[in-house]
Chain A
């Protein structure tokens, strides 16, 4: 049934075009290609859907196309354009600026840190030169007041006892009040101390931001270096990838043909049917029987071992003298 179906398809196929007949004749020729003197029957079944007109031609074209894609230069060829972009001027300048900032820090930040260090060390306390000048002017003022107002009044009150004890006591009392005022004015040094203490205290709020700057600097410098290295690493990776890509190109081209050939091989199904082959002795026995039969047929003898079919005793006449029949 299979053979009939197979041949029916083959004949139907052969009717389509001479070129296809040629190909099928080639396939039939394969039956004798194996050698070994086999008497087995080999049948080839074309699995291509022949209801699609021209499918075999297309299949041939497919294999041809695949082979041409395998052969030099092949379908997959090396990409020659850049695959890794150059760093532009802005990027390079940015990295350089980042590195510079990280390596050298910022002047404002450095000065700020210096100031804070002095502040926390108390070096800003009692260093206000303007306080001393201001103090001097305040003293100058009260002395002027003392000279212009206090002393004349005392002298006037003691005009008739000038230089007397009362006069001296009155001046001493005035001096006492002046001492109190001087103390009050001199307290500005303490006030300045307190003010600086407040600034010292408030300055602690800046400690953390400024104290972390060196970490930022180090991080910036490291980041700048990392940008450079990452770019360099990317270039190395790209070179590696491109190398591998070029390496694999002939293999990919080869696989095109390999896949096509696997596809073509799957379009044909081969079935071998083995016939029963009798043994040699069986064939000899058969030939012996046939020979004896033919011999007896043509010699006019019987194969009965007990009789001679045409002996004179059996037939009543001599076979060599048939004219004696009836005698």
Chain B
């Protein structure tokens, strides 16, 4: 096994790299990134709340102008005024007949003369007696005429009222839309506050990671700036090592044996030494080669 460490940062740049790493660590542990703690959602103003409330009231309760106009048009369309039974018409008719009756009294008071000479058969106000029934008679006639005229005119009004029917019929929709909008704008406000709070929530979590990644970025930037290699050494073939070391052992053993015993021709010390050396060498080569 061997370990080899190489710094790949040029030496002239190492101080800067150290400074950079230190700065990254300091910022991480400071911590440099802390999520925002201030107010993030503006409150609804009183005007806005009042406006929304007004819309809600209008949408829920309608408007008196609309409701009265609608009731009136409905009354006309339903033909309730054709018969002349409405109090307004009766009052108007009473004005005609009442005033006629009342003012005929002025006429009546101007007629009727006493006899100027003796023997005149009629000494009463004959003219007044004759005219006494005129108001009732004429009022009845004109009343009939006005009822008829009223009917004809109310028919025309009824026809014209049809033009407003659809328009007035839309107002419940407008009311509903108004009420809906009042609810909608409140919900939008609420939704916006949810979105902002959610954004802050996420930002708080991401801020912690971003703060951590200050150091992480530094580590990534400097990864590879030093390379430490630990490697195993190449090993030889066991059998070949045994043979090779056996031959070396035989050579060394023979020499040593020959030297010790005095190598002479025919001496067996050398061969014995060589054999022993071969065996020892082969074992050593097998184990350590």
Contacts and interface: CB of A to CB of B under 8 A. Distances in A.
Interface stretch (A5-13, A216-224, A318-326): A216-224
Contact of B126 (A172, A219, A243): A172
B159 to A, nearest CB: 11
B191 interface: no
For chain B, the bracket of interface size reads 35 or more
Contacts of A225: 44-51
B50 to A, nearest CB: 6
A201 B157 contact: yes
A50 to B, nearest CB: 15
Is chain B's binding surface mostly helix, strand, loop or mixed? helix
Given A211-B171, A215-B58, A304-B258, A264 B50 contact: no
Given A164-B115, A201-B76, A222 B47 contact: yes
A197 interface: yes
A247 B32 CA distance: 7
B24 interface: yes
Is chain A's binding surface mostly helix, strand, loop or mixed? helix
B100 A183 contact: yes
Contacts, number: 427
Most buried by A among B5, B33, B95, B161: B95
A34 B228 contact: yes
Contacts of A36: 2-5
Nearest to B227: A270
A39 B272 CA distance: 41
Interface in B1-42: 2-13, 16-17, 19-20, 23-24, 27, 32-34, 36, 38-42
Given A175-B134, A182-B103, A229-B45, A261 B142 contact: no
Contact of A201 (B108, B121, B161): B161
A70 B24 CA distance: 10
Interface string B137-150: 01101100010011
Interface in A249-293: 250-251, 254-255, 257-259, 261-262, 264-265, 268, 270, 272, 274, 276-277, 279-282, 285, 288-289, 292
B115 A305 contact: no
B19 A26 contact: no
Interface in A2-47: 23, 26-27, 29-31, 33-38, 40, 42, 44
A181 B259 CA distance: 179
A189 B111 contact: no
A180 B41 CA distance: 81
A233 interface: yes
Interface in A173-222: 174-176, 178-180, 182-183, 186-187, 189-190, 192-194, 197-198, 200-201, 203-205, 207-208, 210-212, 214-215, 217-222
B255 A292 contact: yes
A221 B110 CA distance: 69
Interface string A115-128: 01100111001100
B251 A303 contact: yes
A172 B126 CA distance: 8
Interface string B238-267: 000100010010011011011100111101
Nearest to A143: B106
Given A190-B96, A233-B42, 19 more contacts: A33-B5, A33-B6, A122-B86, A162-B113, A163-B120, A168-B127, A172-B128, A204-B72, A207-B66, A222-B54, A225-B45, A229-B45, A243-B38, A270-B227, A279-B236, A281-B284, A292-B251, A306-B263, A306-B271
- Top 3 nearest A-B pairs (CB, nearest first) are A225-B48, A222-B51, A305-B270
8 contacts: A171-B111, A221-B54, A222-B52, A232-B42, A232-B43, A244-B36, A244-B203, A305-B258
